[in-house]
Amino acid sequence: MSWEEMAREGRRSPRIVARIPLDVQPIQEACTTAVINLHGALILSPVPWPSGTILNIKNRKNERCIRARVVWTGPEEGSGSYKLGVEFEAPESGFWGDEYSLKPVQTADANDNESR
C-alpha cells in the first residue's frame, strides 16, 4: 500500500496481517492479533472490551508492553472471540518486533475494521 493510498483511506501506517500472541489486562486474557500497524491493531479477544477501555498489552513473542485504548468492538465471531480495534497511546515501531515489515504482499485488505 502506498503512502498516497493510506492517506486517502485515513491510515497513518500500513496494516500487516499477522498472528501475534498477546496478554491483555486489566484482566489477564490471552489474545492474538489479526492485523497490526504502528499505531495499533485488530485483535481477537475472549472479552468484548467496550470502546474507551484502556488496556495494557504484552507481546508474548518479545515481552514488550504498551498501553492502548479500545476504539472499536465487533460482534462475537462464532469462535468465542470478539474483534477489537485498539490504538496505542503513542506510535511504537518496536512493539511488534520483526513481525512488522512493510512488504506489500502482507498488507491487509482495505475493508478490515481496525484502528486508524
Q: Is the pLDDT of residue 8 over 50?
A: no
Q: What length does the chain have?
A: 116
Residue of 6 and 51 predicted with greater confidence: 51
Strands (E), the chain: 16-17, 21-25, 29-37, 40-45, 54-59, 65-76, 82-88
- Domains present along the chain, CATH in parentheses: 3-106 (2.40.10.220)
What is the share, in percent, of the chain residues with pLDDT greater than 90?
57
Q: What is the pLDDT of residues 70-103, one digit of tens each?
A: 999 999 888 899 999 999 998 887 899 877 765 4
Q: Could you give the C-alpha distances from 81 to 11, 20, 42, 92, in angstroms and in order?
A: 25, 15, 12, 25
Residue of 1 and 11 predicted with greater confidence: 11
Place 105 in a pLDDT band, splitting at 50, 70 and 90: very low
The residue among 32, 56, 57 whose CA lies nearest residue 45 is: 32
Cell of 93: 515501531
C-alpha gyration radius of the chain: 13
